[in-house]
């Protein structure tokens, strides 16, 4: 079974330059270089400790000048690259990074840990076309990944909420996640003391989910 990082790398387009924002241990950049997904890369993290781990892992590439590292918040101080990867951050944090960037890359690969709908709305407002947007399941966890490129796009309300690929193709991870949520919501309905307003929200959510499962 592939790891989360391996799945993300498999989705990367082949580009000249890549920026791995919030690179943590640097494994994504290492795999991207080994799989010839990019010729050069920038690794960045707001944590000097994390950045040092990545620099150590990528030492050979750093020494060759293929990888440049910068301790910074988001994309601040990073020169324009073809592809930006932001994986493992919250959706609101991802949105803030994109909105505060001084450039828009041609390609984006985003893996927000929560609030993916806010990321989708931001991508549309910034002028991106969403190529893939789906949920996958690894190690008892669900992840949303969004691959986008510069271009125009229009999403339905359901695609904004659940993800374009999820709605159109219903991948296994998406259905599995909805089934798990459905069981949790059913449990809420069986509890005593749930307010009418909360009950109404639960029923509304169940109605949306049951369109797919």
Print pLDDT tens along the chain (213 aa). Answer: 789 999 999 999 999 999 999 999 999 999 999 999 999 999 999 999 989 999 999 999 999 999 999 999 999 999 999 999 999 999 999 999 999 999 999 999 999 999 999 999 999 999 999 999 999 999 889 999 999 999 999 999 999 999 999 999 999 999 999 999 999 999 998 888 888 898 999 999 999 999 999
Assigned fold of 4-162: Rossmann fold (3.40.50)
Domain boundaries of the chain, sorted by first residue: 4-162, 170-213
Structure-token pair, residue 56? 């150590």
Is 56 within 8 Å of 36 (Cβ atoms)?
Answer: no
Q: Are strands 40-45 and 67-71 parallel, antiparallel or unpaired?
A: parallel
The pTM assigned to this predicted structure is 0.95
For residue 148, the cross-strand partners are: 108, 130
Its sign, for the CA torsion 45, 47, 48, 49, is negative
Q: Can you give the pLDDT at residue 194? A: 83
CA angle 194, 114, 41 (to 5 degrees): 175
Structure-token pair, residue 158? 């359901």
Residue position matching structure tokens 């193709």: 169
Q: Can you give the pLDDT at residue 203? A: 93
Torsion angles phi and psi, residue 70, rounded to 5? -145, 130
Compute the chain's Rg from CA coordinates: 19
Query: Quick one: CA torsion of 118, 121, 122, 125, rounded to 10 degrees?
Result: -160
């Amino acid at each position: 079974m592939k790891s989360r990082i391996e799945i993300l790398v498999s989705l990367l387009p082949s580009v000249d330059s890549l920026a791995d924002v919030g690179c943590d241990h640097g494994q994504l950049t290492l795999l991207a270089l080994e799989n010839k997904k990019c010729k050069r890369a920038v690794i960045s993290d707001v944590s000097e400790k994390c950045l040092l781990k990545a620099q150590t892992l990528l030492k050979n590439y750093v020494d060759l000048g293929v990888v440049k590292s910068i301790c910074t918040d988001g994309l601040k101080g990073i020169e324009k690259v073809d592809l930006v990867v932001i994986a493992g951050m919250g959706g609101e944090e991802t949105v803030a990074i994109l909105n505060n960037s001084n450039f828009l890359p041609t390609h984006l690969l985003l893996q927000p840990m929560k609030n993916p709908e806010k990321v989708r709305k931001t991508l549309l407002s910034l002028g991106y076309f969403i190529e893939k947007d789906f949920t996958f399941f690894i190690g008892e966890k669900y992840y949303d990944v969004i691959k986008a490129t510069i271009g125009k796009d229009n999403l339905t309300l359901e695609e904004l909420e659940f993800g374009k690929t999820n709605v159109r193709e219903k991948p296994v991870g998406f259905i599995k996640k909805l089934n798990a949520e459905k069981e949790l919501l059913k449990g809420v309905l069986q509890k005593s003391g749930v307010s009418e307003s909360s009950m109404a929200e639960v029923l509304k959510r169940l109605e949306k989910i049951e369109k797919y499962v």
